[in-house]
Copies of this chain bind each other. A is one copy, B any other.
Amino acid sequence: MVSIREVARRAGVSVGTVSRVMNRNPTVQRATRERVEAAIQELDYVPNAIAASLRSRRTHTLGLIVPDVTNPYFAELVRHIERAAAAAGNSLLLGNSDNDPLQERLYIRTLSTRRVDGLIIAPTDASALHAETTRVPIVLIDRPVAGHAVVASNHREGARQAAEYLAQLGHRVIACIAGPADIPVARDRHAGWLDVAADLLASAGMDPASYARFGAFDFLSGEEMARSLLALNPRPTAIVTGSDQQAVGAMRAAADMKIPVPQALSIVGFDDIPLAAVVSPRLTTVAQPIRAISEEAVSALLQLRDGVALSRHQPLRTRLEIRESCAPPAYSSS
């Protein structure tokens, strides 16, 4: 593989000058620069970023750790973060924590070893971060952990929007399919549901807790929780879910139980992944500003890396995307 020395020799300059050309140092004379560029072309020189990183202490590489790329929400996140990173001249090292704090910890180590310039993490569990005393700049996504910068949307407010919309439609028995009980994001959304549904349920003589389920964010789990909820008496006329995947799983359960959506059951999703707009009926859902989250996370990380003090982050606004999966309850008394 051709090295910087050979380029220098060919262009008749010193290696320092070649380095300056590659780093766009404006002090090199135009003619010199052109000779060097020609030599680079002719030799098809592929600079060694490893050597550059060792010396400059910059890898121009960001690490991203997500629980599961297979979850469309995170897939969108990965895509936008990758794009933002690339736009700023950075590559992306990807880690899949599989919702396992141990894996997460392991990746933080591995990526630190690789000397990434910074880490973006959608954390699965606070402990991994708490224990880690790393010197790598970190920006969290979705979920705050004390002492770390975070970019997130207002999950509780989002779930509350969803529940309020259903209440306005006339629903009284509104159930909740939440994410894993140990994940704050899931708890926040559950809390948003409770803000609205607790009184409604209680005044009808029911225990709000019995109308909530906690489980994974995926299709299967959503389907199972819906089955359990739809077996309740009185049966809920509406369900607020913690993810679009759970919502689609719930639609599946309803179909199996011959409960028409939205005529006999209203369902609201969360995230607004592309799938939400194509299932039948089209899913009404709480849209997260995934792109804004991604871009803000990258720019915050880059600032951190450059030693800029971060201002406190404002939670980003969610937006209720109204489509077809909700309707007034069948026998609404209003």
Q: Which residues from chain A sit less than 8 Å from chain B, CB to CB?
A: 1, 44, 46-51, 53-54, 59, 61, 68-70, 72, 75-76, 78-79, 82-83, 86, 91-96, 109-115, 133-135, 218-220, 223, 248-249, 251-252, 255, 274-275, 277-280
Q: Name the B residues within 8 Å of A70 (CB-CB).
A: 72, 75-76, 79, 274
Contact with A114, one of B50, B54, B75 (Cβ below 8 angstroms): B50
CB distance from A144 to the nearest CB of B (A): 25
Q: Is the CB of B44 within 8 A of A133?
A: yes
Known: A49-B114, A82-B95, A96-B79. A219 touches B275 (CB 8 A): yes
For A78, the closest partner residue in chain B by CB is B69
Q: Is the CB of A248 within 8 A of B72?
A: no
- Which 4 interchain pairs have the tightest Cβ spacing? A255-B280, A219-B278, A49-B113, A94-B94
Q: Is the CB of A46 within 8 A of B255?
A: no
Q: Is the CB of B91 within 8 A of A111?
A: yes
Q: Is the CB of A46 within 8 A of B113?
A: yes
Q: Name the B residues within 8 Å of A251 (CB-CB).
A: 280
For A222, the closest partner residue in chain B by CB is B278
- Bound Cα distance A280, B278 (Å): 12
Contact with A252, one of B78, B135, B280 (Cβ below 8 angstroms): B280
Q: Is the CB of B278 within 8 A of A115?
A: no
Contact with A79, one of B47, B54, B69, B274 (Cβ below 8 angstroms): B69
Q: Name the B residues within 8 Å of A255 (CB-CB).
A: 280
Q: Is the CB of B49 within 8 A of A115?
A: yes
For A59, the closest partner residue in chain B by CB is B50
CB distance from A77 to the nearest CB of B (A): 9
- Bound Cα distance A275, B75 (Å): 14
Q: Name the B residues within 8 Å of A134 (CB-CB).
A: 46
Contact with A91, one of B46, B50, B86, B114 (Cβ below 8 angstroms): B114
- Bound Cα distance A34, B91 (Å): 37
- Bound Cα distance A279, B82 (Å): 30
- Bound Cα distance A114, B223 (Å): 44
Q: Is the CB of B94 within 8 A of A92?
A: yes
Q: Is the CB of A50 within 8 A of B54?
A: yes
CB distance from A177 to the nearest CB of B (A): 14
Q: Name the B residues within 8 Å of A110 (CB-CB).
A: 91
Contact with A223, one of B1, B93, B248, B278 (Cβ below 8 angstroms): B278
Q: Name the B residues within 8 Å of A69 (CB-CB).
A: 69, 75, 78-79, 82
